[in-house]
A and B are shown apart, each in its own frame.
Chain A
Amino acid sequence: MAITVKFFANYRDLMGQSEIAIDTAPELSVADIYTQVLGSKARPELRRVTMFAVNEQYVPADTLVHDGDRVAFIPPVSGG
């Protein structure tokens, strides 16, 4: 299953890139993808305040991802 994971702000700095394409097993949630992608770079204090988006829409952490989805980790927003 091919998905795109996008990184912004804190996550872009942490990962050193703005997006990656990954091949994952089926039946994974966005929270599972997060754990898999962040790996040893995971920071609990950042994870606690992170929201998830799939295809440009906020979703709960247990939302399952599908082939072709665009997943984004959304750190606390600070526009305006």
Chain B
Amino acid sequence: MASPPYIAIRTGPFTTAEIESLVADPANGAICSFSGVVRNHSEGREVIALEYEAYVPMAEKLMQEIADTITREFPINRLAMVHRIGRMSVGELVVVVSAGAAHRDAAFNAARAGIDRLKKSVPIWKKEFFADGAEWVGMTPGA
């Protein structure tokens, strides 16, 4: 029987180990985590910092729906999804999706589905800061 998922949007830093500990379960044989970090470049330009903004109540609601669906869809014990908002520097952790399951296939698949679905629909936005300006990401139609 799977535990309810843990989801959160946070304004301060966290670690992958901390989020992984939330999916601990004696029935786990595998824990798989995706960690998203701030990259130092975007389309050939040097990125100095990133700022993430969310429509927090809507983002939390959608993350909850995504996590509930994944928990029903894959044979996992628990899923955790945490996204940070605010300004971050290169190398800082932005998002972690951890899945604990009896076997590795379900853990890999659930973690993958979590980050893919979060990126597709959850109302969170990234602004990239360059040496010569800043812009919101995602303005390419169909991207």
Residues of A within 8 A of B (CB): 6, 8-10, 12-13, 45-46, 48-49, 53, 56-58, 72, 74-80
Establish whether residues B119 and A75, one from each chain, have CB atoms under 8 Å apart when the complex forms: no
Establish whether residues A76 and B55, one from each chain, have CB atoms under 8 Å apart when the complex forms: no
Establish whether residues B53 and A8, one from each chain, have CB atoms under 8 Å apart when the complex forms: yes
Q: Which of A75, A76, A80 has the most CB of B within 10 A?
A: A80
Q: How far is A46 from B136 in the complex, measured between Cα atoms in Å?
A: 12
Q: Which of A12, A57, A78 has the most CB of B within 10 A?
A: A78
Q: B87 on the interface (CB 8 Å rule)?
A: no
Residues of B within 8 A of A (CB): 36, 52-55, 57-59, 61, 83, 94-95, 115, 118-127, 136-143
Q: How far is A78 from B36 in the complex, measured between Cα atoms in Å?
A: 12
Contacts of B123 in A (CB 8 A): 8, 53, 72, 74, 77, 79
Q: A8-B53, A78-B137, A80-B115 are in contact. Are A53 and B58 (CB under 8 A)?
A: yes
Contacts of A75 in B (CB 8 A): 125, 136, 138-139
Q: A76-B143, A79-B122 are in contact. Are A9 and B57 (CB under 8 A)?
A: no
Establish whether residues B58 and A57, one from each chain, have CB atoms under 8 Å apart when the complex forms: yes
Chosen A-B contacts, 24 in total, with CB atoms closer than 8 Å, are A6-B55, A8-B53, A10-B139, A13-B136, A46-B139, A49-B138, A49-B141, A49-B142, A57-B61, A72-B58, A72-B123, A76-B137, A76-B140, A77-B119, A77-B120, A77-B124, A77-B125, A78-B126, A79-B95, A79-B122, A79-B125, A80-B83, A80-B118, A80-B119
